[in-house]
Structure 1
């Protein structure tokens, strides 16, 4: 179950990222950690890599925005990073950027069971996610897709 203030934190993180030239890729809140940890993932609006220095410099305005919002009334750790391997592909830019990369698609079949298929990302069309599996293109209906994650090549 998501933290009750996650939506508000995502809104703050998204606007703060945009003000600083970044797109927000995701926010996670780990309340089981002491102190609580908030992870914010960003990337450049133009799609370029975010350096360690840029993550560090974004920490100050992000922390200031959280403090100003007064949403968190307990100690927390703020972690800023950029997406990397094992991350979920979500938007069109993700699917274009990682074309040809190894992915795993979790999806539901007609009986409602969850299945997984791994291969190289060929493309995502309006209706399907296309995987290259040993030279053969397999299509999975987008409406059945639960998640698409980057994976490491098995070798």
Structure 2
């Protein structure tokens, strides 16, 4: 397990009881370096959507828990937020909740000179993701997918 994965896993363990008390679910936790700064981001959600008070309460409680556990030696910026409307679907649980929703898929390498596809998420397994584009099913190898996110319709 990498340092990043360890920090994310341990943070998620600390966050679990906080999320339960706050009546939110953990959508994702990520530890990333952007420029010269490290960020520890916790994304929370609930059916009716999270508000600023939810984020503030979870952030305070998580900050205290992280200070006590003190397992991240680097200086980092803690952010707690909603995953947003055009949320990235990284985990199987994200894909499962999004079956029947319109998604956008971006590939690492083009297929027929195209790297971006959109359609209704039909199904997925360990190796593939299938969407329906204008009535036609299209299956992609998960290894070829750079990004899957919910489509935004304005």
Tell me the TM-score normalized by structure 1: 0.70
More helix by share: 2
**Residue aligning to 1:81:** 81
**Residue aligning to 1:71:** 72
**Residue aligning to 2:117:** 117
- List alignment gaps of at least 5 residues for structure 2: none
* Structure 1 residue 140, shift from structure 2 partner: 1.5
1:60-80 deviation line (CA, Å, top 9, x unaligned): 221112222063564x54221
* Structure 1 residue 15, shift from structure 2 partner: 0.8
Are the structure 2 counterparts of residues 126 and 134 from structure 1 closer, same or farther at C-alpha, using a change threshold of 3 Å?
A: same
- CA distance in 1 between counterparts of 2:5 and 2:127 reads 29
Q: Size of the alignment, in residue pairs?
A: 146
1:31-67 deviation line (CA, Å, top 9, x unaligned): 5377x653221246xx774443222211122111222
> 20, 26, 30: which is aligned to 2:29?
26
> 10, 13, 19: which is aligned to 2:11?
13
- CA distance in 2 between counterparts of 1:41 and 1:134 reads 32
CA RMSD across the alignment: 3.4
* Structure 1 residue 147, shift from structure 2 partner: 2.6
